[in-house]
Amino acid sequence: MNQSLLSTKPIRPEERLIMALDVSSITEAQALVEELGDSVIFYKVGMELFMSGDYFGFIEWLKERDKKIFVDLKFFDVPATVGRAIKALSQRGVDLATIHGNDAIMEAAARNKGDLKVLAVTALTSLDRGDLDDLGFQCDIKDLVLSRARRALAIGCDGIVSSGLEAPMIRGEIDHRLLVITPGIRPVDNREEDDQKRVVSVEQAFQNGADYIVVGRPIRDAESPRTMAEKIQNQIASQFT
């Protein structure tokens, strides 16, 4: 293990797993949270749940159960609009939120974040080189991610969302000054129908410098979600003992 890349931030090991509640209804999300119990402390609530019902009521429901909350809505709009949205969200008591876009958008979010930690998205883990070509990005994925990370740090964002494949490069360039949240975690071999392309294992993510990992389907679709969450928690704990 490369100890120099291992997260040095004062985060409890059990909080380093963020469970992605990518389900179709609030009722389904609540049932999954209840099933997972104390095996998961941190939850990501994203766009699918935003469209399914009482999103902010569900956030309050999670807070009542002492859960930490990552709002993954990837705010992208006119900078002033993003700034106002982030300011409003900062009053909801959530812990993390994602934004997308250029320097002006990141600056507006950073100015209005209060105690909320703002994360800049670098390049989605569902994208590969061909996808970036389709989108008109001529640079290498790693160059794009590093550029976004540098700008996020300079502007005042708290962290980035980045594949575990690029995390070592980020740590090498900007050390531990940003939070690195790594999605695309696959505890088992990646399946053909999986839409995530740039993936890593739990151990590899932390050895590459992640502060948090985001795991969804491997827990949600397991025969026993709680057993899978506990297995991942044990893998995380082994990295920080």
Q: Which domains does the chain have, with CATH numbers?
A: 13-239 (3.20.20.70)
> What pLDDT is stored for residue 198 in this prediction?
47
> What pLDDT is stored for residue 214 in this prediction?
96
* Known active-site residue 231: no
If DSSP states are collapsed to H, E and C, what string results for the chain? CCCCCCCCCCCCHHHCEEEECCCCCHHHHHHHHHHHHHHCCEEEEEHHHHCCCCHHHHHHHHHHCCCEEEEEEEECCCHHHHHHHHHHHHCCCCCEEEECCCHHHHHHHHHHCCCCEEEEECCCCCCCHHHHHHHCCCCCHHHHHHHHHHHHHHHCCCEEECCCCCHHHHHHHHCCCCEEEECCECCCCCCCCCCCCCCECHHHHHHCCCCEEEECHHHHCCCCHHHHHHHHHHHHHHHCC
Q: What residues in the chain have per-residue pLDDT under 70? A: 1-3, 123-141, 187-199
- The one catalytic residue among 68, 74, 87, 197: 74
> What pLDDT is stored for residue 26 in this prediction?
97
> What pLDDT is stored for residue 140 in this prediction?
67
> What pLDDT is stored for residue 229 in this prediction?
97
